[in-house]
Amino acid sequence: MIWPLLSTVVLIAPPDASGAAGRAGPAWEKGARCVLQAPLGVSEKPGPKSKKRRLKPGAELQIVGVNKGFVETTTADIAGFAKAGELTRACKRIEPGGPATLTSPVTEAPPPPPAELATPTPSTPQASPPPPAAATSPSETLPPETAATSPAPAPVPAAPPATTLNPPPPVAVPPESQAAPAPTKATVKTKVAVMAVRGSAGIPAELIESLTNLIPQTLDDLGPFKGISSSDIQQMLAMESMKQALGCDSNSATCLAEIGGAIGADYMITGSCLLVSANYLLQFQLMNIAESRVETRVTREYAGGAKGLLDEVRVVTKLLVRDLLAAKSGTLALAASEEGATIKIDGAIVGVSPLAAFSVPGGMHTLEVEKEGFVRFTRDVEIRTNQQLEVGVLLLPSAEFKKKYTATASFWRTLSYAGLGAGAVGLAAGAALFGMSRSQAKSLRADILAYNAPDHSRTADEEARLAERVKGVARLDALSMTSVVVGLVATAVAAGLFFGGDDPHRFEIIATPEAVTP
């Protein structure tokens, strides 16, 4: 059986590039991070002919995969491949403990002038530097670890009166120490408050509590949502005091909307789990807090154990926010190095490579690409609303598959070489026989002309010899034609085996991440 031809997207960097990179800095390993000090071009696939996009200085990159000569990188917006040597020259490594958030490509501002050149005039009162931008909501404040490491603004000492012609330029924060950017519209998550699930008699309180805690976890896993659990609500608002202060019934839509608005939520999920005979009846609803109305209702009946009930609540949660997810979807463009690989999103099969760009609900998802004989590719990807994420996937063969592939491909490649040799011999033999036939035919033609001359005395023996020579020339012509045909067929078969078969050296250019140096 002839193996089908598979396209190869892994290329080797020129020796000078990889060698220079190896002398310029340490090896890049998976998980390393760096900040661009100079512009860098990244391509959709590893290779010189792939379309490139240019990243500006200041972009923070994370290494997610490496192969000989190329490093697969990702930023907050772009994922692609860069030559290892170019990356080493353009990117400054971030040592462990540095900033953990990938930032979008930015342009570094010039360094500030010396402090003595920025003295205010006597007529202008000296004002202390403004504090960092205040957060407008709890969700926009910096993480505790970032706030803890950010230095507080030092007070500006009083300076003697002086006259300056130009005001001082603004102080630029270097990318390494720059605070996390404020969330943009594309990354702001929809807050969904989850009220405690009401359980009927006969259902353990621990099970009801587990169901309540499972809903915000499921929302967080979907990506575009931030689940606010019932315990969080109680801690933030002191629920009972809030209901009394509002003077409303906790079961009414108006009261729930007021409570949800007070905690800054966009939507609220309420529901109950009832035990009817031996079956569980799940009744849940999603409320739009801004409009004080119910968006979606889901009712499902389940007969089974507690584990299955947890899975059923996960399904109910996804059904409640299904329409919201559809409005926040983006597209994923996947370029896999192998054809026929199975592509999964969050464990569900979405297609087989090569696959055109497809729509994916917004938020974080787990991308898996697998094929028999290859190491499974897994990565967490973030899909942004109305945006396309391009991901290049390099599948690495297992040792056993690589050995079997190389042996089979070598056999067919050797057979193609043998066919090319046989074809060349056949064509050469056909050409030689044709030359002999033409030479004998020319001599025979001259003898026949002499035999037919009027003054030539003809004999029966001479006529028989001429007839035998005619047959000999005909045999040479037939052998020549047969040799040429056999040579052409052998050459055609050999060419098909060579160009249509697998390259036995295909996987020799793929190395393990530990063995790759920039």
pLDDT in tens, 199-212: 888 888 888 889 89
The pLDDT tens digits for 402-435 are: 888 888 888 888 888 898 998 999 899 999 999 9
Q: What backbone torsions phi and psi does residue 293 show, to the nearest 5 degrees?
A: -145, 155
> Which residue, 326, 384, 324, is CA-closest to 188?
384
At residue 11, the pLDDT reads 30
Name the band, by pLDDT with cuts 50, 70 and 90, for residue 353.
very high
Taking the CB of residue 48, how many other CB atoms lie within 10 A of it?
Answer: 10
Dihedral in degrees, nearest 10, Cα atoms 144, 147, 149, 151: -160
Q: Are 387 and 465 in contact (CB under 8 A)?
A: no
The span from the CA of 71 to the CA of 93, in Å, is: 14
Whether the Cβ atoms of residue 409 and residue 503 lie closer than 8 Å to each other: yes
pLDDT given for residue 340 in this prediction: 92
R_g over Cα of the chain: 38
Q: Which residues of 462-495 are buried (b: 16+ CB within 10 A; e: fewer)?
A: eeeeeeebeeebeebbebbeebbebbeebbebbe
Could you give the CA distance from residue 493 to residue 415 in angstroms, rounded to a whole number? 10
Return the pLDDT at 101.
42
Predicted confidence band at 83 (pLDDT cuts at 50, 70, 90)? confident
DSSP character for 75? -
Say which residue the tokens 């045999």 belong to: 475
Q: Is the distance from CB of 285 to CB of 257 less than 8 angstroms?
A: no
Which helix (H) or strand (E) covers residue 296, if one does? strand 293-302
**Distance in angstroms (rounded) separating the CA atoms of residues 150 and 158:** 24
- Asked whether residue 25 carries a pLDDT value surpassing 90, the answer given is no
Quick check: 13 pLDDT over 80? no
Kindly state the tokens that stand for 417: 């070489």
Mean pLDDT across the stretch 84-105? 66
Using the predicted structure, report yes or no on whether residue 515 has a pLDDT greater than 60: no
Mean pLDDT is lowest, of 60-74, 302-316, 435-449, for 60-74
Angle at 205 between CA 199 and CA 211, to 5 degrees: 65
Supply 442's token pair: 């020319």
| Strand, coil or helix: 87 | helix
**How high is the pLDDT of residue 1?**
36
pLDDT at 66: 77
Which one, of 321, 312, 310, 307, lies nearest residue 269 by Cα? 321
Please give the DSSP secondary-structure letter assigned to residue 67.
Answer: E
Beta-sheet strand order (sheet of 342-345) = 348-352, 342-345, 363-370, 377-383
Residue 136 scores a pLDDT above 50 = no
For residue 313, count CB atoms less than 10 angstroms from its CB and return exposed for 0-12, middle for 13-18, buried for 19 or more.
buried
What is the dihedral sign for C-alpha 117, 123, 128, 129?
A: negative
Residue whose tokens read 């060419």 = 495
Residue 90's pLDDT band (cuts 50, 70, 90): confident
| CA separation for the pair 81, 34 (Å, rounded) | 15
Tell me the percentage of the chain whose pLDDT exceeds 70: 67
| Distance (Å, whole) CA 381 – CA 391 | 9
The answer to whether 287 touches 268, Cβ cutoff 8 Å, is: yes
Cα(42)–Cα(50) distance, rounded to whole angstroms? 9
Q: How far apart are CA 75 and CA 64, in angstroms?
A: 10
Position with higher pLDDT, 116 vs 220: 220
Given a cut of 90, whether residue 111 has pLDDT beyond it is: no
